[in-house]
Structure 1
Amino acid sequence: MSLLGRDLAIDLGAAGTRIYAKGRGIVLDEPSAVLRDRETGKVVGYGTEAVNDVDGADGETYWPISDGLPQDGELARRMIRHFLRKVHRHPFPRPRLVMAVPDEFTPIERVALRDAGFEAEARGILLVKHAIAAALGAGLPVRDGAGHMVVDIGRDAARVAVLSCGSVVAAATVRGGGNAVTRAVARLAEDEHGLLADEREAESAKLRATREPTGNVLIRGRDAGTGEQRAVALPAARVREAAVQPVEHIVRAAEYTMERCPPELTADLGERGMVLVGGGALLPGLRRRLQEGLSMPVRRAERPSDSVALGLGRCVEDLGLIAKLRRR
């Protein structure tokens, strides 16, 4: 490894951060979380350790990334620097970074993302549009002239984009993403059982329901009437049914995006359909709901949670690819 550090790709997600090292693949996959001491405010943990201690009496967990951008610049910078040092095992790694920028970004957002990378001690920053990275990671031929649709369902947003000739033709964002699904599960527990479940408990129930096709899922919370702690068993099928209700917002965003495309690309999409990436793509029943709502083929990427990191990784392995995409 050179003294200046190996070239890296970093996928900054609201839920998790993944780092791809040139020649090695994905070498880090941890929650985008920072743990601070409740009394002093001092940072005492990052990533997995921050989430594992989320219920600790002395710590409070923060999530400094939203929609692929730093929302708390100081915490985001410190978290990125911690992850880079963890990958390199060196106090001053100084790598070149390839990062994803939102498809519809502002100059201020672009500067904020670059600043976060440079302040985390990177020596160079190359930016790739999020949808392009997701499509590359999903194995789509993004440089051909046909139309391709990618839907990335993350923790705080669902992003819809149509690509052609290596560029983003049209894009839309649905706020909520996986969080909207989590809130739907919490509403189910409250409406049917009078149970007030926090976000973490609803998220856990949602994930367990995706792994358990039959049976019940236990969810804990406070009784809305008495305030006492209790648990109820929800049928896994009902949890999944509640969880896919926000899909209608994604359907409308996809329709809006297609309306902004030339007719020839819309025809391509009717034949090729869309590809789902992101952690939310793993939710059972989601693909079928989207297929029914849009009357088009829908498939899930082979590694949906890793698609953006893998696409950025392709750019790390061949930095010339970024220039080729920019010329299209």
Structure 2
Amino acid sequence: MRMLGEDLAIDLGCSTTRVHVRGRDVTSSEPSLVAVLRVGREAGRVVAAGAEAAGLVGRTGDDIAVVPPIRGGAIADLECVDAMLRLRLPRASGLGRVRRPRIAVAVPRDLTNVERRAVEESVLRAGAREVVLVPKLLAAARGLELPQDRGPAHAILDLGAGTTEVGIVAGTHVVAARTTRVGASVLNDALRDFVRRKLNLLIGDPTAEAIKRRLGSARPSDSGESMEVCGRDLISGTPKTLRIGAEEVREALEGPVAAIVGLVRACLEDTPPELASDLRDRGLVMVGGGALLHGLDERLREETGLVVVCAEDPTRVVARGAAAFLAPGAARLGSGLTSLDAR
């Protein structure tokens, strides 16, 4: 029988968990959500995970809660993450029908030792025989196929749902970096808050996501485009449909966008002057779901003077790059990786 899924990589995101099967160039993704029983003798038991749990949002009674077990790039509920991975990995890779795999997990660089240990142990319990933690910036660099030797430095901005990281990567070293446990999900929060304050309308996260994808922009727009938004009227409590315009959406997103710009500028200020010519020549590459926000590349270009591009298929770069660290002979020296074997 062919051995499948021997090496896997996980990008354990706050909104989406992606699993990459090394050697098959297959990356699957599902929401980072679990549905948990809240009452009775089985309270706390996970009854659904991933897409199945996402389908229950807003459609359950008080007996079931749908929750995200990952917050700020760290495990917020260990038991829920254990259950999510046990349910998730077999669907992605055939785990359970083959020998236990080695698994690389992409993590924010500022995780505490306790948080790192929680990730390692959770993945081991899910069936891994070895766990390798890979800093997300290095995973992104490998996924972008940047030089791993002593080549030029590159600037990378990883815009995840729960964390935003920007760093200067040279080979297998992060020369300078800034991290905040505030990610692209804050864009949705800002939209929901704006609609509530300005339109007296309560909307859910799926609606905010739809608004962001259609009208969201990091730069002013004179398109005049708008869309209908359905939610619950805060005054009457009844369903109501209103129209929101592109410029209103840009206004709602300006705070989080400005924070992203500020983080990038702060990292550039930390960068050794010897690398200035590298950054001038090679610019900055954006990865992660937040990189898809319209106009963000142009806004960063205006604010930093660098050439800014969005990676091809930016949501899969980190998982694909993390898997590369499991390849035979993969460079690990100075990379900050840690490894834990099953006992």
Superposed pair shares fold, TM > 0.5: yes
Tell me the secondary structure at the aligned position of residue 305 of structure 1.
Answer: coil
Letter in 2 for 1:127: L
User: Could you say which residue in structure 1 is the equivalent of 2:280?
Assistant: 270
User: Could you say which residue in structure 1 is the equivalent of 2:106?
Assistant: 100
Tell me the secondary structure at the aligned position of residue 258 of structure 1.
Answer: helix
User: Could you say which residue in structure 2 is the equivalent of 1:12?
Assistant: 12
CA distance in 1, matches of 2:133, 2:44: 32
Give the conservation status (yes or no) of the 8 Å contact 2:279–2:306.
Answer: yes
User: Could you say which residue in structure 1 is the equivalent of 2:330?
Assistant: 321
Letter in 1 for 2:263: A
Q: Cα 1:101–1:155, aligned 2, differ >3 Å: closer, same or farther? A: closer
User: Could you say which residue in structure 2 is the equivalent of 1:201?
Assistant: 207
Give the conservation status (yes or no) of the 8 Å contact 1:205–1:218.
Answer: no
Q: Which runs of 4+ in 1 moved over 6 A?
A: none
CA distance in 2, matches of 1:175, 1:264: 29
| Equivalent residue in structure 1 for 2:235, among 211, 214, 225 | 225
Q: Aligned pairs, how many?
A: 326
* Structure 1, unpaired ranges of 5+: none
User: Could you say which residue in structure 1 is the equivalent of 2:134?
Assistant: 128
Tell me the secondary structure at the aligned position of residue 81 of structure 1.
Answer: helix
Give the conservation status (yes or no) of the 8 Å contact 2:148–2:331.
Answer: no
Give the conservation status (yes or no) of the 8 Å contact 1:142–1:148.
Answer: no
Greater fraction of residues in helix:
1
Instruction: Within 5 Å, give how 1:162-173 maps onto structure 2.
Output: 162-173=168-179
- Asked if 1:254 corresponds to 2:259, the answer is no
Q: Cα 1:145–1:92, aligned 2, differ >3 Å: closer, same or farther? A: same
User: Could you say which residue in structure 2 is the equivalent of 1:283?
Assistant: 293
User: Could you say which residue in structure 1 is the equivalent of 2:340?
Assistant: none
| Equivalent residue in structure 2 for 1:51, among 40, 51, 54 | 54
Tell me the secondary structure at the aligned position of residue 323 of structure 1.
Answer: coil
Deviation sequence 1:279-300 (CA, Å, 0-9, x none)? 0111111111111111211100
Letter in 1 for 2:19: I
Q: How far off its partner does 1:101 sit?
A: 2.6
Q: Cα 1:46–1:246, aligned 2, differ >3 Å: closer, same or farther? A: same
User: Could you say which residue in structure 1 is the equivalent of 2:90?
Assistant: 85
CA distance in 2, matches of 1:67, 1:132: 19
CA distance in 2, matches of 1:207, 1:14: 18
Q: How far off its partner does 1:4 sit?
A: 9.2
Tell me the secondary structure at the aligned position of residue 209 of structure 2.
Answer: helix
| Equivalent residue in structure 2 for 1:234, among 236, 241, 244 | 244
Q: How far off its partner does 1:5 sit?
A: 5.4
Q: Cα 1:88–1:288, aligned 2, differ >3 Å: closer, same or farther? A: closer
Tell me the secondary structure at the aligned position of residue 325 of structure 2.
Answer: helix
Q: TM-score, normalised by structure 1?
A: 0.89
Q: How far off its partner does 1:230 sit?
A: 1.3
Letter in 2 for 1:256: A
Give the conservation status (yes or no) of the 8 Å contact 1:70–1:116.
Answer: no
Give the conservation status (yes or no) of the 8 Å contact 2:135–2:336.
Answer: no
User: Could you say which residue in structure 2 is the equivalent of 1:119?
Assistant: 125
Tell me the secondary structure at the aligned position of residue 9 of structure 1.
Answer: strand
Q: Cα 1:79–1:199, aligned 2, differ >3 Å: closer, same or farther? A: same
User: Could you say which residue in structure 1 is the equivalent of 2:341?
Assistant: none
Q: How far off its partner does 1:51 sit?
A: 0.6
Deviates more, 1:278-287 or 1:227-236: 227-236
CA distance in 1, matches of 2:315, 2:254: 18
Q: How far off its partner does 1:53 sit?
A: 1.5
Tell me the secondary structure at the aligned position of residue 110 of structure 2.
Answer: coil
Q: How far off its partner does 1:237 sit?
A: 4.7
Deviation sequence 1:199-234 (CA, Å, 0-9, x none)? 3432232233359x8742222333233333312111
Q: Percent of aligned positions with the same letter in both sequences? A: 36
| Equivalent residue in structure 2 for 1:61, among 62, 66, 77 | 66
CA distance in 2, matches of 1:250, 1:219: 27
RMSD: 2.5
Tell me the secondary structure at the aligned position of residue 330 of structure 2.
Answer: helix
Deviation sequence 1:29-79 (CA, Å, 0-9, x none)? 111111123434432211111111212224321111123332211111111
Tell me the secondary structure at the aligned position of residue 184 of structure 2.
Answer: helix
Letter in 2 for 1:12: L
CA distance in 1, matches of 2:224, 2:31: 28
Q: How far off its partner does 1:241 sit?
A: 4.9
User: Could you say which residue in structure 2 is the equivalent of 1:157?
Assistant: 163
Deviates more, 1:149-158 or 1:132-141: 132-141
Deviates more, 1:65-74 or 1:284-293: 65-74
Q: How far off its partner does 1:142 sit?
A: 4.4
User: Could you say which residue in structure 1 is the equivalent of 2:143?
Assistant: 137
Q: TM-score, normalised by structure 2?
A: 0.86
Letter in 2 for 1:82: L
* Structure 2, unpaired ranges of 5+: 218-222, 338-343
| Equivalent residue in structure 2 for 1:304, among 289, 294, 314 | 314
Letter in 2 for 1:124: E
